[in-house]
Amino acid sequence: MNLSSSLTFDSSYSLKWAHTRPFHYRHHRPPNVVVCSSSLATEPAPSRGLSRIESLSQVSGVLGSQWGDEGKGKLVDILAQHFDIVARCQGGANAGHTIYNAEGKKFALHLVPSGILNEDTLCVIGNGVVVHLPSLFKEIDGLETNGVGCKGRILVSDRAHLLFDFHQEVDGLRESELAKSFIGTTKRGIGPCYSSKVIRNGIRVGDLRHMDTFPRKLDILLSEAALRFKDFKYSPNMLSEEVERYKRFAERLEPYIADTVHFMNESISEKKKILVEGGQATMLDIDFGTYPFVTSSSPSAGGICTGLGIAPRVVGDLVGVVKAYTSRVGSGPFPTEILGQGGDILRFAGQEFGTTTGRPRRCGWLDIVALKFSCQVNGFSSLNLTKLDVLSDLPEIQLGVAYKQIDGTPVKSFPGDLRLLEQLKVEYEVLPGWKSDISSIRNYSDLPKAARRYVERIEELVGLPVHYIGVGPGRDALIYK
């Protein structure tokens, strides 16, 4: 099916610029942009990849640059083989990272950092993460059942906040209240837990070491939830049962609890290599995303320092992960969204269904305006372009390169005004597709010319090099550019 022809009827966004201003590659190279050199294409892929990875800073990070689900876990899993520590700095079990081991076995991780599959890597769950212990233990049990050892390899910050089952129930009640204006959360209790943290009545992992005061603190949380939501039923029995449950959890968690702020800074002074794994993505950032349709933490670069307790000056290379198209889960503005059949084609080709919820993701063309904004906020040193293979069957591919108001006035950056964001029109460039399977290609020079043109045009528009290109879900399905 011709995706572009279906767009004419199915998309509510204007595509007229895409057809009235055709893109001619040779004549549209803007001055003063960083274009990734093709000289590396002559090197063997393994040595090229190793040189890329070894050149990364002592403290590096992998962050999402869109609305999440970009495929961060795979790159973290690959890079982790060359790092001593992989750390999560924010979010909770709403962050779903799908990775594959060397045998091709699939693992869906939510709280445990994606470096866990590499047996020499230590995984840190930092103070900025909200931790649902039943979910964490379920993950650990699943990993160990499949031969992945976790004992002595996971540290949980004593400053991290505990996310309780009631937070999840409250999350659902809150969404029900919002009716048609619902946020579209994963209902994993993330927002309510961060709310408890911010209003200073949350319970931290370290509080599990003081079970004499734990019941009183939990009673305050549960009582407040009952006062706020009439459908939340709270009784003394609920409190006593939860306290007994958490006594058992406390005993099991004790070997994992650590002062991770001290550990991280000691590791930095010992020259250990640290990789930070971001959850969610910049366009879901509580400050910089499409508020209020965002997550409740800071998945952008600033969250690394506040979520791990490390100084900004030690953070080096940050790799922005960007899908070759765009997707988002839940509600909120999505300028380059493709409605109807066109979106369905991308959704099923890319298997765009949530790791955490299974919900179908909304799909659209790559949004360069949003990507440039994300690059500005984070200061990425390079990009990882994922799922390029998903576009392989399309006769032509579009890039959303500019925003304009209804009256034609240019919008210079990604706006914080949701009304403007919902009403603006997107200007597109059209590039030819390559109409061939690229999933087995491992050298950049072997990609079809049209695929290379697409990658290089993204580099030109954003002003950053694409160093990693995903062409399939497997660990080896990666091209180093």
Annotated binding site for Mg(2+): 69, 96
Contact between residue 117 and residue 109 where contact means Cβ atoms under 8 Å apart: no
Read off the amino acid at residue 334: F
Helix (H) or strand (E) holding 165: helix 165-178
197 catalytic? Reply is: yes
Question: CB within 8 A of 11, min separation 6: which ones?
Answer: 337, 338, 339, 340, 342
Question: Which pair of tokens denotes residue 181?
Answer: 């204006």
* 436: DSSP letter: S
69 catalytic? Reply is: yes
Question: Which pair of tokens denotes residue 254?
Answer: 């004790």
Distances (CA, A) of 96 to 210, 266, 326, 336: 31, 29, 17, 24
27 catalytic? Reply is: no
Question: CB within 8 A of 249, min separation 6: which ones?
Answer: 133, 134, 137, 208
Q: Helices 133-145 and 236-253: crossing angle, nearest 10°?
A: 40
Contact between residue 162 and residue 203 where contact means Cβ atoms under 8 Å apart: yes
CA distance 193 to 170: 10
- Binding region: 68-74, 94-98, 186, 200, 280, 295, 355-361, 387-389, 470-472
Distances (CA, A) of 343 to 96, 245, 324, 336: 22, 45, 14, 11
Among 97, 161, 187, 273, the active-site one is: 97
Provide the H-helix boundaries in 416-477: 418-423, 449-462
Among 132, 197, 372, 425, the active-site one is: 197
Residues found in the chain: 481
* 355: DSSP letter: T
Q: Enumerate helices (H) and strands (E) in the chain, giving the number of each.
A: 15, 20
CA distance 96 to 68: 9
Name the residues annotated as catalytic.
69, 97, 197
